[in-house]
Amino acid sequence: MAGLRAKHKAERADRILAQAMALFHEASFDAVRMEDIAAAAEVSTGTVYNYFATKGDVLLALVSLEVEEVLELGAAVVAAPPEGLAEALDALIGGYYEHSLTYLTKDLWRQAIALTIGAPGTRFSLIYAGLDDRLRAQVADLLIACRGQLRPGLALAPLADMIFGSLNQAFTDFVRVEEMEMASLLTAMRARHAALAQALA
Amino acid sequence: MAGLRAKHKAERADRILAQAMALFHEASFDAVRMEDIAAAAEVSTGTVYNYFATKGDVLLALVSLEVEEVLELGAAVVAAPPEGLAEALDALIGGYYEHSLTYLTKDLWRQAIALTIGAPGTRFSLIYAGLDDRLRAQVADLLIACRGQLRPGLALAPLADMIFGSLNQAFTDFVRVEEMEMASLLTAMRARHAALAQALA
DNA sequence: CTTCAAAAATGAACCGACCCCATCCTGAAT
DNA sequence: ATTCAGGATGGGGTCGGTTCATTTTTGAAG
């Protein structure tokens, strides 16, 4: 049966993740050693590697948590978007951004993004890319949901790709600069959405 | 005087860079060790660190070469843009992309981008960000140069930021997938530019 | 020439991620 | 209770980037 053994296993994985999260909030990703995580979770270093193939995979598990919740939030917006393209984009994308620091720090996002780019083809990168694609699809869905308010005959798919590319890059720029405030990110994006909505109306 | 000493120093730096470039084209960035670069340049490992503070700084020197040339190309396009916004964007951005693999490989771009994101505040990251800003400014300049062909009253600055964000992200996506062809990147971007130009006309 | 302080080169040593493996522990099936 | 397989253990090892104390080279002054 899958009883105690599996339960212990799940508990151990949870404990490792929880401790890793705590340590990553106290110090930077780089400053936390696998040995530290193991010690905090009261297991041996080897055991951590039994659950997570690399330090990056520990991070990925934390990122997934965050992104799954962001996707849920986004689905709600797409299902009932506010009036007006600019407002709808503000709601969706602002929602992404505002939730993004619930569990993770800017440093953790930086390391996650750097890993996806620097190590493509790894488990980490593939899963991360999958999450990204689901976000991209949500943006496209929102445009489609709002198409009644747009000039007819527009090529929505390339526009959605452009919007997603731009929001993704803006987020990367945001986490890259430790001092940048969430408010200024939101303001900048609102300006973009307003300009775009004006052009597409 | 500045004679022999400085000359030798410059020569050695060049030799290290040239050998690094050659090795990076034979194997991946990660697979090339600092020791290999040192051996190829016929100096000791420590000496390489005398010239470049980190492995990333070696890469940065190569990236700068590439980007400086791209910026020159771009300046020519901005000075005399082709008729039509879509055509102008195709020329500028297509020019960026097509030159980007002259000296560097996709792998080198990936590592460079990953480093800027993962290690902000380092010399590497700051210089890279500076190059990026000059590209961003060029896109804004092109929009201004084309403003006669656009609907009046548009907020050009946010639009330029959005276009730049999207082209940057598209490039990152391009280098992330080893199999993706330059032609398909160019095609995708042409679709975006056409859609945008239609909306802004 | 010789001298010498500064500049530069050197390579051994350090550190942390990751791997390996001989050994021990523990839950489940008999 | 006993057996046994799947994990856990943790010490030792590899690897590569980076550091640093030490040695060598340099070029200008005496």
Domain CATH for A2: 1.10.10.60
% of chain B beyond a pLDDT of 70? 98
Residue ranges making up the domain that contains B129:
55-200
Q: Which two tokens stand for residue B184?
A: 């398909």
- Do A115 and A18 lie in one domain? The reply is no
Query: Residue B155: what pLDDT?
Result: 87
Quick one: closest CA in A to B189, which residue?
A158
Question: CA gyration radius for chain A?
Answer: 19
- Which of A192, A193, A200 is the best mutation test for B, with the most CBs of B within 10 A? A192
- Do A105 and A32 lie in one domain? The reply is no
SS3 B145: helix
Nearest one of A51, A70, A64, A56 to A120, comparing CA atoms: A56
Q: For residue B121, name the pLDDT band (cuts at 50, 70, 90).
A: confident
CA separation, residue B6 to residues A58, B12, B13, B62, B195 (Å)? 48, 10, 11, 21, 54
On the 0-12 / 13-18 / 19+ scale of CB atoms within 10 A, B46 is exposed
Total domains in the fold of chain B: 2
Please list, in sequence order, all residues whose beta carbon lies within 8 angstroms of the beta carbon of residue B118, skipping any fewer than 6 positions away: A110, A111, A113, A114, A115, A118
Mean pLDDT of all residues in chain A? 92
Q: For residue B4, name the pLDDT band (cuts at 50, 70, 90).
A: low
- Do B174 and B108 lie in one domain? The reply is yes
- Do A138 and A85 lie in one domain? The reply is yes
- Do B68 and B159 lie in one domain? The reply is yes
CB contacts, 8 Å: B165 with chain A: 165-170, 173
Task: Encode pLDDT of A91-110 as tens digits.
Answer: 999 999 999 999 999 999 99
Q: For residue A155, name the pLDDT band (cuts at 50, 70, 90).
A: confident
Å from B14 (CA) to C9 (C1')? Answer: 17
Please determine, for residue B1, whether its predicted confidence score (pLDDT) is greater than 80. Answer: no
Please determine, for residue B76, whether its predicted confidence score (pLDDT) is greater than 60. Answer: yes
- Do B88 and B112 lie in one domain? The reply is yes
